[in-house]
Amino acid sequence: MAHKPKIALYWCSSCGGCEESVVDLAEDILAVAEAAEIVFWPVALDAKYDDVARLDDGAITATLINGAIRLDEHVSMARLLRKKSRLLFAHGSCAHLGGVVGLGNFFTNEEILNRVYCDVPTVNNPDRVLPRPETRQGTTVLKLTGLHDMVRSLHQVVDVDYTIPGCPPPPALVKEAVMMVLEDRLPPKGSIVADTRALCYTCPRKETRPEMLEVPSFKRVYEIEWDPEQCFLNQGVVCMGPVTRGGCMAQCIQANMPCRGCFGPVDNVRDQGAKSASLLASLMESTDEEQLKKIVETIPDPGGLFYRYSLASSIMKGRVRRRP
């Protein structure tokens, strides 16, 4: 038998959606399993850390890591897999940009822990017991992996060869990434396995986009019944299509939902959130200061909206904390 390429998959701070995007390959995954040897995939296979550590450096042909980096364990696994893999893919929005979990950077660890372990209404924790790096019980010492102050993307921790964007990525793109490797037709390093242009270029509604767009107030999807044929922005519904890389086959638009930006910005844009702000600002239908304020108020959570997927990798990276 010929030497099969080795593939590994790993998850860091992730919701599991990216794992789904692999499972969603359905029958195609059999073809992958046929053509390649999956050496490590904690969600599906019983392989352990040591199995990876034992491999020679560069022994794995390609590794797909999904999820953001939040724990010491994420960093050490990312570094280990980087060392063992010839190619490393950031798989999904969290590995690519920090993702939704990156929104944690709007809060301190203390705020997050208090919220999650004490203040959520369904949690009963009267003694306010929080996870700690070390817990002693008698002579036993229990250790937890370290929690970082900030969420980071995979790119901010290790050298990444390619990125499969999306929250989660469409299975077709995952397949394309794997086939790129198996068929040895690799694009230039750093490429993102998607379009180079923003979503509007392939949007099925682009014909309805007027030359002059002015929005008197922004609408959230529950506030109106929107026309399923019309450009969302033309109806005042915030759509991130213009500031988001295409390649998703406009799946959300096809399902009559506006783009939320999960593919991240196109190559020339450094900060997707800042671009989103400037996009929406340019559409506001007023020159009057007071009226503009009212329009701005129709966006209740600008930070969350603009940086839904990209806060951790943005210029500011999160809430700015002034040094004392």
Partner 1 sequence: MSTVRIGVFICECGPNIKNAVDLDGLSRFARGLDNVVVAERFALLCSLEGKDTLAKEIQRHRLTRVVIAACSPKEHEHTFKQVMAQAGLNSFLLQIANIREQCAWVISDKTRATQKAQAILEAAVNRVARHEPLEIREIACLPDVVVVGAGMAGISAALTLAQKDRKVHLVEKAPCIGGKVARYEDLFPNLECASCVLDPLLDAVLHHPNIQLWTLSEVKNVLGYFGNYTVEIITKARHVDLQTCIGCGACVEVCPVSVQNEYNEGLDTRKAVYLPYPGALPNLAAIDETHCLRWQSQDCESCQQACPFGSIDYQETDRNMSLKAGAVVIATGFDLFDVTKAPQYGYGKIDNIYTALEFERLVNANGPTQGKLILKDGRVPESIVLIHCVGSRTPRYHQHCSGVCCSYLFKFAHQIRKKIPDATITSLYTDMCLPGKEAQPFSDKIAQKTGLKKIRIKDPAAVTITQDHGRPRVTYTDACDASKSVVADMVVLAPAITGTKDASSLGTLFDIPLGGSGFFVEEQTSLAPVSTPIEGVFVAGCAQGPKEIQAAVSQGQAAAGKILSQLVPGQKRALEAMTAAVDTELCSGCKICLGLCPYKAIVFDDTQQVAGIEEVLCRGCGICAATCPSGAISARHFTDAQLGAEIESLARHTGRENRS
Say whether residue 201 binds partner 1 (CB under 8 A).
yes
Q: Nearer to partner 1 by C-beta: 80 or 299?
A: 299
Say whether residue 270 binds partner 1 (CB under 8 A).
yes
Say whether residue 196 binds partner 1 (CB under 8 A).
yes
Are the C-beta atoms of 263 and 197 separated by less than 8 Å? no
| CA nearest neighbour of 186 among 79, 109, 89 | 89
Say whether residue 213 binds partner 1 (CB under 8 A).
yes
| Least distance between partner 1 and beta carbon 281 (Å) | 8
Say whether residue 320 binds partner 1 (CB under 8 A).
no
| Bridge partners for 7 per DSSP | 38, 62
Are the C-beta atoms of 205 and 242 separated by less than 8 Å? no
| Residue carrying the six token digits 């700690």 | 132
Q: Nearer to partner 1 by C-beta: 135 or 278?
A: 278
| Site track for partner 1 across 17-46, x = CB under 8 A | ------------------------------
Say whether residue 288 binds partner 1 (CB under 8 A).
no
Among 58, 278, 294, 302, binds partner 1 (CB under 8 A): 278
**Quick one: which H or E segment has residue 151?**
strand 147-152
d(C-alpha 88, C-alpha 16), whole Å: 19
Say whether residue 206 binds partner 1 (CB under 8 A).
yes
Say whether residue 212 binds partner 1 (CB under 8 A).
yes
Q: Is 122 left (phi over 0), alpha (psi -120 to 50) or beta?
A: alpha
Binding segment for partner 1 among 98-106, 109-117, 168-176, 262-270 (CB under 8 A)? 262-270
| Least distance between partner 1 and beta carbon 107 (Å) | 24
Q: Nearer to partner 1 by C-beta: 158 or 266?
A: 266
| Residue carrying the six token digits 């904390």 | 321
Among 15, 36, 80, 269, binds partner 1 (CB under 8 A): 269
| Bridge partners for 205 per DSSP | none
d(C-alpha 95, C-alpha 76), whole Å: 15
Q: Within a 13 Å sphere around the CA of 274, how many CA atoms are in the beta-carbon half? A: 10
Say whether residue 302 binds partner 1 (CB under 8 A).
no
Say whether residue 242 binds partner 1 (CB under 8 A).
yes
Non-local CB neighbours of 119 within 8 Å, separated by 6+ positions:
none
Say whether residue 260 binds partner 1 (CB under 8 A).
no
| Least distance between partner 1 and beta carbon 86 (Å) | 30
| CA nearest neighbour of 198 among 143, 259, 139, 151 | 259
Look up residue 6 and give its two tokens.
């080795």
Say whether residue 250 binds partner 1 (CB under 8 A).
no
d(C-alpha 74, C-alpha 154), whole Å: 9
d(C-alpha 40, C-alpha 29), whole Å: 15
| Least distance between partner 1 and beta carbon 144 (Å) | 33
Write out the residues near partner 1 by the rule CB under 8 A. 196-201, 206, 209-214, 241-243, 246, 265-270, 275-276, 278-279, 282-283
